[in-house]
Amino acid sequence: MKKYKASIDIGSNTVVYLIVGNNEIIERGQFVTSLGLDLDKNQIFSKVPMQETMEALKEICTKAKSFNINEGQIVATATEASRVARNGKEFYQKVLREVGLKVEIIDSDKEAYYSAQGVCFDKERKSFICLDIGGASTEFIKKSSSPESINSISLPVGSVRLLNWKNETTDQEKLKEVFSSFDFSSFQTSKVIGVAGTMTALCMMIKKLDKFVESEINNQEISKDEVISIYGEIKNLNSVEILSKYPHLGKRSKVIKEGIEIILRAMDEINAKKIEVSTRGVCFGTINGLNY
């Protein structure tokens, strides 16, 4: 008999969920709720994204119940946007009351740890550099095997946050400030492991996939030249035109350009020429419980 488990990762752009049975993937998916929309400007979660996130969590819990997983058994975490929103704790108290789901807001060190655990979910990796681009933050993660350790830095910029900065016409100034505030010397690598939705979406664009196919994305390599080429195709397009060209993006079409810009800037900083895309991430790292 299979033992089922479920985990949820609430980011500033998406709510991601995973259901496994005996450590085999049974179901996974995501909802784009843009919880971190205008967060830097307002400092709080807005009403509509909170409603959409609440509905997404209810739907995920309903899916979990079909595998006899109740709300109290689901491991749910929230990251950067929830760390900075003034009404974040209040929102998750409401989630607990209305959904029965307890959400833990994890700090950047825990986020990096669970991302690193995630990419090792079903593939042994001893030492690597990982790049996790979210909606509100970007994590550079270094896992070493001798001695065993995980080190990371968390940049307060992600695809949604960068779009917000563009709307305020402060993007170039703030990007320069963020990247100049960190030392990337210990994260130099020719190949970086890329996780999270932006990386997956980018791989699908490069591979010309019109739907998510695990085997066509997970552990696939893409080159910096390919990323530059895709960016060149969309940099002058608006979100509607991008969606028309790449329908699989859905709501992510609004922030994919910003996500790719961060990828390229990050690759420049660490001298990476290739990305190995991993469809594993925080949800895969937390599925067996919060053990940081």
- What CATH number has the domain bearing residue 268? 3.30.420.150
This prediction has a pTM of 0.87
Residue 118, in any domain of the structure: no
pLDDT value of position 291: 65
- Looking at the structure, do residues 145 and 91 belong to the same domain, yes or no? no
Tell me how far apart the alpha carbons of residues 19 and 292 are, in angstroms, rounded to a whole number: 21
- Looking at the structure, do residues 265 and 131 belong to the same domain, yes or no? yes
- Looking at the structure, do residues 70 and 184 belong to the same domain, yes or no? no
Question: Along the chain (292 residues), what's the average pLDDT of each consecutive run of 10 residues?
Answer: 90 93 91 88 92 97 95 93 93 96 93 90 89 91 83 92 92 94 95 94 95 91 97 96 94 94 97 96 87 58
- Looking at the structure, do residues 97 and 135 belong to the same domain, yes or no? no
- Looking at the structure, do residues 84 and 225 belong to the same domain, yes or no? no
Residue 166, in any domain of the structure: yes
- Looking at the structure, do residues 43 and 139 belong to the same domain, yes or no? no
Residue 292, in any domain of the structure: no
Residue 154, in any domain of the structure: yes
Residue 115, in any domain of the structure: no
- Looking at the structure, do residues 14 and 64 belong to the same domain, yes or no? yes
Residue 45, in any domain of the structure: yes
- Looking at the structure, do residues 96 and 136 belong to the same domain, yes or no? no
3-state secondary structure string, the chain? Answer: CCCEEEEEEECCCEEEEEEEECCEEEEEEEEECCCCCCHHHHCCCCHHHHHHHHHHHHHHHHHHHCCCCCHHHCEEEECHHHHHCCCHHHHHHHHHHHHCCCEEECCHHHHHHHHHHHHCCCCCCCCEEEEEECCCCEEEEEEEECCEEEEEEEECCCHHHHHHHHHCCCHHHHHHHHHHCCCCHHHCCCEEEEECHHHHHHHHHHHCCCCCCHHHHCCEEEEHHHHHHHHHHHCCCCHHHHHHHCHHHHHHHHCHHHHHHHHHHHHHHHCCCEEEECCCCHHHHHCCCCCC
Q: How many distinct structural domains can be found in the chain? A: 2
124: which 2 tokens? 């042994």
Residue 80, in any domain of the structure: yes
- Looking at the structure, do residues 86 and 169 belong to the same domain, yes or no? no
- Looking at the structure, do residues 80 and 171 belong to the same domain, yes or no? no
Residue 114, in any domain of the structure: no
- Looking at the structure, do residues 52 and 141 belong to the same domain, yes or no? no
- Looking at the structure, do residues 129 and 202 belong to the same domain, yes or no? yes
Boundaries of domain holding 65: 4-107+282-286
